[in-house]
Amino acid sequence: MSVETETQFQNATNCYVCNQPFSGKIIKVRDHDHLGMNEDNESPNYSIYRGAACHRCNLMLKYPNFIPVYFHNLPNFDAHLLLSEAGKFKDKKLTCIPNNMEKYVSFSVGQLRFLDTYQCMSSSLETLIANLAADGFKNFKQFHSLCYEILTDDVYEDMKPIKDLFDTSKYGSFNKTKHLFSNKYKKVVGKFKDELGGVPLKEFVGLRPKMYSLLYNQTSKEGITCEKEKKVAKGISKTEIKQTLRHEMYKKCLNEETTTTNSMTCIRSKNHELFMDTIVKKDCAVLMINVTGRTQLKAMPMDTIR
């Protein structure tokens, strides 16, 4: 270290990474680049010193020797598909952390390390729901299901100054929205999107987060206009939604508090073999399935904020 960098280190009072003040428990260390790539080696001011860091950040600031690959609920589904082809990678180093002969917490193939994001949850969804009081669902709904009503003369003109907040990748084929078209934020998380791509919306029924129905008119190339529906119901397979659920069912759930039933199946595995099975859930906030394996879609109105 040069005299200048040593002086900077001695005068530092906070970690340059996490900004925590140094103390007896938070030890100050000299964080440096082991590869020596941060400045020109020929420069007289060259130094591998990067800053005064706490001992925790210093240990974490290192180049990993693996590439993490994340799956949700990895041991119960995706791992079986991957491990069934593991024999093709005999030239790679294979390691694993097993739960039993069929399920693995994590496993690695060469420099790829497969991890399960579901392990971040300390309890199951069923337990989390059971711990939530009955009135807690109402509070959860109020904070996570918001519907705004905005009056405007031309919504697309109003979007121009704030177009960086929107995913407008579906706006290419409509005259009113062509000036907003851009692929810059296509499928970017956190951006607002028009699910119908500029097609005027006739009706919207929102029951719960990720449980809603849209009604709109669609005009074909031949000039024929027909009524279309787009339905979303988290926890129910897309095939069942398309074949059995209708926009009117959502309206009845909203206005009459009626119950709509439909059956569905899911993919499970045993000994790394996949098979079809009937899904059974108990006492979910949105989806309730009885002992016969029939799905019951029941929901209350969603709060509206104007």
d(CA 226, CA 184): 32
Of the candidates 142, 174, 198, which is a domain's last residue?
198
Dihedral sign for Cα atoms in the order 78, 84, 90, 96: positive
Tens-place pLDDT, residues 168-196? 888 876 667 778 888 888 888 888 888 88
What's the domain count of the chain? 4
* Long-range pairs, 10-14, Cβ under 8 A, ≥24: 12/51, 12/52, 14/52
Burial zone of 254 (CB within 10 Å; 0-12 exposed, 13-18 middle, 19+ buried): middle
291 in the same domain as 222: yes
235 in the same domain as 98: no
* pLDDT for position 225: 85
Q: What is the mean pLDDT of residues 234-261?
A: 80
Q: Is residue 125 part of a domain?
A: no
* pLDDT for position 160: 87
Check pLDDT > 80 for residue 62: no
Strand order, beta sheet including 211-219: 201-208, 211-219, 225-233
* pLDDT for position 299: 39
Lowest mean pLDDT across 20-34, 79-93, 138-152: 138-152
Query: Beta partners for 112?
Result: 67, 109
pTM of the model: 0.44
Q: How confident is the model at residue 127 (pLDDT cuts 50, 70, 90)?
A: low
48 in the same domain as 109: no
The position carrying tokens 């069912």 is 249
d(CA 22, CA 13): 6
216 in the same domain as 78: no
Give the chain's mean pLDDT.
75
Domain membership of residue 142 as a residue range: 132-150+202-306
138 in the same domain as 48: no
87 in the same domain as 49: no
Q: Is residue 226 part of a domain?
A: yes
Percent of the chain residues topping a pLDDT of 90: 1
* pLDDT for position 221: 78
d(CA 254, CA 247): 11
113 in the same domain as 243: no
Q: Is residue 126 part of a domain?
A: no
* pLDDT for position 173: 61
306 in the same domain as 248: yes
Q: Where are the alpha helices (DSSP H) in 50-133?
A: 55-60, 78-83, 125-131
* pLDDT for position 287: 35
Q: Is residue 222 part of a domain?
A: yes
Percent of the chain residues topping a pLDDT of 70: 75
Q: Is residue 96 part of a domain?
A: yes
Q: Is residue 188 part of a domain?
A: yes
* Long-range pairs, 210-215, Cβ under 8 A, ≥24: 210/234, 211/286, 211/299, 212/250, 213/245, 213/247, 213/250, 213/251, 214/247, 215/247
Q: Is residue 77 part of a domain?
A: yes
114 in the same domain as 222: no
The position carrying tokens 């428990």 is 25
d(CA 3, CA 52): 14
Q: Is residue 127 part of a domain?
A: no
Check pLDDT > 60 for residue 286: no
234 in the same domain as 167: no
Check pLDDT > 60 for residue 36: no
- The SS3 of residue 78 is helix
Question: What does the DSSP 8-state code read for residue 296?
Answer: E
Check pLDDT > 60 for residue 289: no
Q: Which residue has the higher pLDDT, 46 or 242?
A: 242
Neighbours of 232 (CB within 10 A): 19
d(CA 137, CA 301): 12
229 in the same domain as 281: yes
Q: Which residue has the higher pLDDT, 57 or 121?
A: 57
Lowest mean pLDDT across 65-69, 242-246, 291-295: 291-295
Lowest mean pLDDT across 18-27, 123-132, 160-169, 222-231: 123-132
Which range of 40-49, 81-90, 117-126 scores highest in mean pLDDT? It is: 81-90
183 in the same domain as 74: no
